[in-house]
Structure 1
């Protein structure tokens, strides 16, 4: 059974078992031994322990994942700095679209209020931290002790340190090259750790949802549905409308042509939930079907797979507001600004692997002064949304690559407008490209 089906099955089983236990507990006398066994032994014992271990594992990978991914991404950017305008425009567009994405997610979530009315856990004993002044926040972005920043989980400082290290390695000659190779090997190991954790995700989802619905009741599914469709609508709007506006505003090219030629990439991205796994197909499509010169595509697309995670940024914005509303916490304007900044930087550090955005969400929640345990509320539906997020991410990679290539005179408009360009990729070559 595929990982997607296993997670879906775990979600259904967790909701079903949790709902049965909730009904059972409601009909039992709280003084009986059976009630104590079911509630204390199973719900708050076995399932709560497994769920907490899974959450702890998510938090465990935040620092190494951000550090290694950003160092490798910055090293790739620094090594290509001779491309000058190409590098600047690519990075700038990626950051701008990510800012738009997270801002859009926050705005829609605040208006729709997907977490309003979820009062079942409003009694949770949680006191939000007071948001620091903007001045102190900006100063504290820059680390005085990177080891302490990593030990304390101060992710903004870790991100700045990783960017500095990655940039310095590209200027350190042979020593830098050896270190880059070492970090690239380390990245493989970290990705394997993420893969192992994601493989265990069905068990974590099952435990978390069983405990959640045993204590909250089946009616919570309707609140999750509101969150699900709110996030889905924002993702589709950003992927189809915002990227189309960016392409139409900055170039005379037709967004409909790009969307038509991205269908194969969308199908693969949706099925794998990984920008990295989709990278061969994305790169081939951008070069052969959209007419982007190899020098631009070879830089912009792999870089985008590393730092352009607009779908993840949208999820972090919507999820942050949702969790805050569930816990009855009003986010101040400074907290919202920090969410935009943190989610933008976090999306840069998100690995191109399935569900890595959940790991990064924990640092956004921490920076916003929200409980990391709130991640459990969205885990059940996240896998489905992760598929759509990946499709949005690869669409952003293709859009930015096309815009940059057009302004650098590196776009073949004849190929771009040719609906039959590179159609042989539909056949046996698609398998070779994936391999």
Structure 2
């Protein structure tokens, strides 16, 4: 096992985890899996998150301070954010093209779509929303009796705990000032930001501010601080080395727990759930795979000719497989940095600045998924969104993706904001719950691949890329030692 590369070990662990989960469901062992195996997956995620936050903090401080020239910082930062924004808009646009071409929501049984439409009209009437296309099924006597039955179902759905909790969060976000996201970036208490979930932007702001200030003070005073920062950063990287030695087992436990939670002890139930969402999932998956294997390599080839197609994926293999298994670009960040620096040849000054920012603001996979999900939900409720409404989806999704935490399934809460922006029922996120975790794995691979692509482009533009065609990617984390 030790002779295998890290990403192959992780892939084996993932495969065994899924097989174990399905077997335990068939034999009624799900309770054992969730009680005695799944906790190790949780420990793995917690360990990576434990390392990720301080690693982001000290990496950005060191990355900014090591640039040396303040003018380089402004130029590099502007280019980084611009490229991230362009790739996000490309991802959303690709998602909209696919969902409008395949029309997965219209492939559902017509009677089910009519029932969905009636539920939508009942909700719109209760909430005071205007019916999008002006058609009123509720006014047709043919659907009157059906509407009475559906009315009760609609009320019970809105009271579902898992949805109502997220609805409350969305309402809070809806009532805030337009400039509140800007206010939220600046921390009132930095130590509170470190100890709270979802405040990564505040940590990045502090790290950038701290690093910039180091550039403007005399070298004899900044150098001791920089030595300390770099030393602490090395300690956290060593933590990554130690944790990753157990990655294959941890990933096995993580995947076994995820699938067992979905299937329980009834395999037929989980198969039926996936049957109804298969077209939606296929549409999202096509878009995500196009981003990974076509869009990003195309952008990379356009700007960085020295990195070959297969060389890029060979270099990023360990980070991509770990991103798939953890569904967290933040948790994968330490491994992404290792792959980009050691295998692609990106200078540490670039990677420590671009990648932590990308892990927070670059959510291309999440953006594409949200765009497809919104239009899919509209289609299955027999609502045709206009071009203007879909443009609103693009804008809202791009902004929402920046605020999405780099953790599993964070996009679900943000999708409520997107649904609400076009006057659709936020409770519909419950429909896509069953397949969200599986798609989240692929979305995270997109995000990590995008981060590496942008980082390589920035490094090449700054003449800090030393990739060689005949260079063999290093064995990440020294698994043979």
Q: TM-score range by the shorter chain?
A: 0.5 to 0.7
1:259 shift after superposition: 1.4
Q: Does 1:330 align with 2:384?
A: yes
Show CA shifts across 1:182-235 (max 9, x none).
3232237999xxxxxxxx99899689x99xx89xx95x7444111111111110
Residue 412 of structure 1 aligns to a residue whose secondary structure is coil
Match of 2:437 among 383, 400, 413: 383
Q: Does 1:122 align with 2:105?
A: no
Report the equivalent of 2:477. 425
Report the equivalent of 2:294. 241
Q: Does 1:402 align with 2:396?
A: no
Report the equivalent of 1:224. 277
1:123 shift after superposition: 2.2
Q: Does 1:103 align with 2:89?
A: no
**Conservation of the 8 A alpha-carbon contact between 1:273 and 1:354:** yes
Show CA shifts across 1:264-306 (max 9, x none).
1111111111111111100111111111111110011111111
Ranges in structure 2 where 5+ consecutive residues have no aligned partner:
1-12, 27-52, 133-167, 202-256
1:340 shift after superposition: 0.4
Match of 1:91 among 74, 81, 92: 81
**Conservation of the 8 A alpha-carbon contact between 2:404 and 2:414:** yes
Match of 2:193 among 183, 188, 194: 183
Between structure 1 and structure 2, the one with the greater Rg is: 2
**Conservation of the 8 A alpha-carbon contact between 2:288 and 2:446:** yes
**Conservation of the 8 A alpha-carbon contact between 1:150 and 1:158:** no
**Structure 1: how far apart are the matches of 2:476 and 2:199?**
35
1:388 shift after superposition: 1.0
Q: Does 1:346 align with 2:336?
A: no
Show CA shifts across 1:60-104 (max 9, x none).
xxxxxxxxx9xx99xx79x95941111111111111101100110
**Structure 2: how far apart are the matches of 1:261 and 1:323?**
38
**Conservation of the 8 A alpha-carbon contact between 1:131 and 1:335:** no
1:5 shift after superposition: 5.9
Please show how residues 243-262 of structure 1 align to structure 2 within 5 Å: 243-253=296-306, 254-262=308-316
**Conservation of the 8 A alpha-carbon contact between 1:159 and 1:345:** no
Match of 2:332 among 266, 278, 282: 278
**Conservation of the 8 A alpha-carbon contact between 2:296 and 2:453:** yes
Distance 1:428 1:304, change over 3 A: farther
**Conservation of the 8 A alpha-carbon contact between 1:115 and 1:223:** no
**Structure 2: how far apart are the matches of 1:205 and 1:359?**
20
Q: Does 1:161 align with 2:177?
A: no
1:243 shift after superposition: 0.3
**Structure 1: how far apart are the matches of 2:461 and 2:78?**
12
**Conservation of the 8 A alpha-carbon contact between 1:324 and 1:331:** yes
1:343 shift after superposition: 0.9
**Structure 2: how far apart are the matches of 1:156 and 1:98?**
26
Distance 1:190 1:289, change over 3 A: closer
Distance 1:259 1:115, change over 3 A: same
How many pairs align? 330
**Conservation of the 8 A alpha-carbon contact between 1:114 and 1:223:** no
Report the equivalent of 2:466. 412
Report the equivalent of 1:299. 353
Over the aligned positions, Cα root-mean-square deviation in angstroms equals: 4.1
Match of 1:321 among 349, 356, 375: 375
1:323 shift after superposition: 0.4
**Conservation of the 8 A alpha-carbon contact between 2:304 and 2:456:** no
**Structure 1: how far apart are the matches of 2:354 and 2:199?**
24
Distance 1:274 1:150, change over 3 A: closer
**Conservation of the 8 A alpha-carbon contact between 2:96 and 2:372:** yes
Distance 1:299 1:251, change over 3 A: same
Report the equivalent of 2:207. none
**Conservation of the 8 A alpha-carbon contact between 1:105 and 1:314:** yes
Tell me which stretches of 4 or more aligned residues in structure 1 moved more than 6 Å. 188-191, 200-207
Show CA shifts across 1:388-433 (max 9, x none).
111111000100000011101121133xx3432423536157xxxx
Distance 1:379 1:94, change over 3 A: same
**Structure 2: how far apart are the matches of 1:233 and 1:96?**
20
Distance 1:156 1:410, change over 3 A: farther
**Conservation of the 8 A alpha-carbon contact between 2:343 and 2:467:** no
**Structure 2: how far apart are the matches of 1:287 and 1:321?**
39
Ranges in structure 1 where 5+ consecutive residues have no aligned partner:
14-68, 133-148, 170-175, 192-199, 430-435
**Conservation of the 8 A alpha-carbon contact between 1:80 and 1:87:** no
Match of 2:323 among 259, 263, 269: 269
1:322 shift after superposition: 0.8
